[in-house]
Amino acid sequence: MIKVYAFMIIAVILVCVIALIGTLLVGKEVSTKQKQYEVEGSTLNDEIARSHEYETKSLKTNVKSLTWIYIGLTILILVTSIGIMIFF
């Protein structure tokens, strides 16, 4: 019984750490792009084009990645909670 609880706690901690790392990687990618844009310099037309590109690509990549990360985290928390309720 104690082994099951330990496994569930370790699984939740592991998935939380993986979700945190994934979130940080997505944030780092966005930050890197912003720094690259600052180095390149910008005109008004460049800024408008980048803004449009960010709005379209961000929804396709960053938001999708973060959504899957947190859906997985939510599912694990629900499964763990159900498991704890069953064993109690």
pLDDT for 23-68, tens place per residue? 888 888 888 888 887 787 777 787 888 778 877 877 777 778 888 8
* Average pLDDT of the segment spanning 76-82: 82
Predicted local confidence at residue 72, as pLDDT? 82
**Torsion angle, CA of 24/25/26/27, rounded to 10 degrees?**
50
71-77 contacts at long range (C-beta below 8 A, 24 or more positions apart)? 72/15, 72/19, 73/15, 73/16, 73/19, 76/11, 76/12, 76/15, 77/12
Residue 18 confidence (pLDDT) above 80: yes
Residue 1 confidence (pLDDT) above 70: no
Asked if residues 54 and 87 have their Cβ atoms less than 8 Å apart, the reply is no
